[in-house]
Structures are given as C-alpha cells and as structure tokens.
C-alpha cells in the first residue's frame, strides 16, 4: 500500500503538490491523470524519496521509501526511460541493478523476455529508440518482482502493439494482487486499463474514484449547421466536430427546447454517456496551465 498524508512540495513560491491525501491499494490499476504541471511526476518522485516533502508524508508499506530494506523487491518504478548509461548494453544495465539488490541474474533474462527485449539487450542503450528505452525501463521496474509498480507515461514511444502489450501487462499484474499506479495523458488508454482514477490539478486532488463513478450522468450530442449560438448559451458545451457539440449534464429535451428558443436549426439530438475525456475536462478546466480557446470559428461552429 502507498499512503500520502497532506503531502506538500513547494519550490520557492511555486506549490507543485498541495496537501495531497491518497491511498493506493493492491489488486487494481490506478490511473493518475492531470494537466501539464499538475504535480503528477513530482508526486511520484516524492513517493520514491527523490524529492523531500515540504510537509506531510509519503509512506510505502508504512515507512518512507528510503527505509525499505529491499526497495526493488517492494517498488518497481519507471519515471524516465532515458536515465540509462548510453554506453552500457540493456542486459548489463539490468545486471547492475540486479547485483545491487542481490537479485538472481536469471531474473534479468526473464524480464527481457517479458518485455520483448531479449534480442536488443546486447546493444548499447544509447542506440535505442524511445519505445525500446521504455521497454527496458519497464524491464527494470519488473526486475525485483515487486509488490508495487509505478510508471510515469509508460506508453510514450510505443507502437500500437506495444500499447496493447503494456495494457495487458498492467492488468495482469493487478490481477495478481499487486498495486499498479500509472500516469498517462491518453484518455482512451486509461479508459481501457484503469480500475480507478486519481485526478489532480495544480497539485490538488480533484477526484479519487472508480472509473464508473467519474462517468455518471447523461449528456447530449447535438448536430447542426450553425451551432455557435447554442454553444455560447450552454455551460459545459464542447465541440466534438465541425458541426457537432457535446453537452454535459443536459438531457436532449432541454437542449432541444433551448435550440428552438434561439432559432438554431438541428440535424440531430441524442442522449450520450459522458466519455472519460469529457469527465476529465470538466474536472480540470479550472486547473489547466496552458489553456487554448475551445470556442469560436476554429471549431466549425459558425456558418461557412
């Protein structure tokens, strides 16, 4: 188990993590979501003892990470896939890790096979593509057969087959009773992989809930040739295409009546369950550091 209590980290006048309370339990894949600058990577670094909290605590099985007797057997982590000596082969990198924790060297060959890196393991890590570096980093995270796995953006650089592989791997590890904590910007991937989601914004906890809980409510899909007046009148309306709006927490009847009042012509109106992306955007819209304009002609809302 990982337990965070009022975890806070400040860098000068900037608060990266702000009073975070969180518990991560075995047997589930927990997705870690948030906009750029939300504090996801900093939170993971605090858990691993790579940064020191300004206040609060991050405990792994009841103690700080630095006090674990065999950390690689307890927590397997991947924060930066390129943090490998470029002149060392992938196999030698893993062997060095294994020797540091008295892990049998046969385990190196096992994780190379699991990650599909057996043939590439003799090459220098500096020649690897990003996808190969990710696979080597995941092999390192698995090396100690850990109870807890923490991965920061593990699908970066992976091809579609690799993305499907990591999804299957994470779910199988959780099914074995392990704690799996993974950050990602890919909503579709989290939708297929995670059992639970933790959402942060500007260092604060915005949501900690099962996937189904974040997708409750009924929204409406609207199609029409000139929907800008309707978009302007509805809170929570987002462009889903050149002539399509998605409206959160509004039933089709209410949207249709408003369109009639505004004189907006509709070509389609249907109830929809909110996607994870829509739920996420609704949660984080006040926490986005680099916000782009989501309205106006660039989204095809007006008449050509």
> In the numeric block, which tokens belong to residue 82?
């390129």
Structure tokens at 49: 């003892």
Window from 88-92, 149-153, 218-222, 243-247 with minimum mean pLDDT = 218-222
Q: What pLDDT sits at residue 36? A: 85
Please give the average per-residue pLDDT across 277-292, as a whole number. 64
Residue 256 has, within 13 A of its CA and on its CB side, a CA count of: 8
Supply the pLDDT for residue 214. Answer: 73
- 266, two tokens: 């509709």
Higher local confidence (pLDDT), 265 or 275: 265
Q: What tens digit of pLDDT does each residue of 18-48 get?
A: 999 999 999 999 999 988 889 999 999 999 9
Higher pLDDT, 6 or 1: 6
pLDDT at 105: 96
Question: Residues with Cβ < 8 Å from 61, sequence gap 6 or more?
Answer: 1, 68, 74, 147
Please determine, for residue 53, whether its predicted confidence score (pLDDT) is greater than 60.
yes
Average confidence (pLDDT) over 238-250: 85
Q: Given a cut of 60, is residue 293 above it in pLDDT? A: no
Q: Which of 58-72, 127-141, 288-302 has the weakest average pLDDT?
A: 288-302
The whole-model pTM stands at 0.78
Residue scoring higher pLDDT (96 or 297): 96
Give yes or no for residue 234 having a pLDDT over 80.
yes
β-strand partners of 29? 180
Mean pLDDT over all residues of the chain? Answer: 89
Cα angle at 231 between 230 and 233, to 5 degrees? 65
Q: Which of 37, 72, 55, 56 is nearest to 144 (CA)?
A: 72
Give the model's confidence band at 302: pLDDT under 50 very low, under 70 low, under 90 confident, else very high: very low
Q: Which of 8-12, 76-80, 124-128, 286-290 bottoms out in mean pLDDT, i.e. has the lowest?
A: 286-290
Query: Per-residue confidence at 274, pLDDT binned at 50, 70, 90?
Result: low
The predicted pLDDT at position 241 comes to 87
Question: Residue 106 pLDDT > 90, yes or no?
Answer: yes
Model pLDDT for residues 171-182, shown as the tens digit of each residue: 999 999 999 999
Task: Report helix, strand or coil for 217.
Answer: coil
* Domains and their CATH numbers in the chain: 2-211 (3.40.50.300), 219-299 (no CATH)
The pLDDT of residue 292 is 52
Cα 4 to its chain centre, rounded Å, is 18
**What is residue 233's DSSP assignment?**
H
């Amino acid at each position: 188990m990982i337990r965070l209590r009022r975890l806070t980290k400040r860098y000068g006048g900037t608060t990266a993590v702000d009073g975070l309370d969180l518990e991560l339990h075995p047997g589930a894949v927990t997705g870690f979501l948030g906009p750029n600058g939300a504090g996801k990577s900093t939170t993971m670094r605090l858990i691993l003892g790579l940064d020191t909290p300004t206040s609060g605590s991050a405990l792994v099985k009841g103690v700080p990470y630095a006090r674990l007797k065999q950390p690689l057997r307890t927590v397997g982590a991947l924060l930066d896939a390129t943090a490998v000596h470029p002149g060392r082969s992938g196999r030698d990198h893993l062997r060095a890790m294994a020797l540091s924790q008295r892990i049998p060297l046969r385990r190196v060959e096992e994780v190379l096979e699991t990650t599909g890196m057996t043939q590439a393991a003799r090459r220098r890590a500096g020649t690897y593509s990003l996808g190969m570096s990710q696979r080597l980093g995941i092999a390192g995270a698995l090396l100690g057969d850990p109870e807890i796995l923490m991965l920061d953006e593990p699908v970066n650089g992976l091809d579609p087959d690799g993305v499907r592989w990591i999804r299957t791997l994470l779910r199988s590890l959780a099914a074995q009773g392990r704690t799996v904590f993974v950050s990602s910007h890919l909503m579709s991937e989290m939708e297929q992989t995670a059992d639970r989601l933790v959402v942060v914004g500007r260092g604060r906890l915005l949501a900690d809930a099962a996937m189904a809980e974040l997708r409750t409510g009924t929204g409406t899909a609207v199609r029409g040739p000139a929907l800008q007046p309707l978009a302007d009148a509805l809170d929570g309306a987002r462009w889903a295409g050149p002539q399509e709006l998605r409206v959160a927490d509004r039933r089709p009847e209410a949207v249709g009546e408003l369109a009639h009042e505004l004189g907006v012509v509709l070509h389609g109106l249907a109830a929809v369950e909110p996607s994870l992306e829509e739920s996420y955007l609704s949660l984080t819209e006040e926490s986005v550091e680099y916000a782009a304009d989501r309205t106006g002609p660039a989204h095809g809302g007006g008449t050509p």
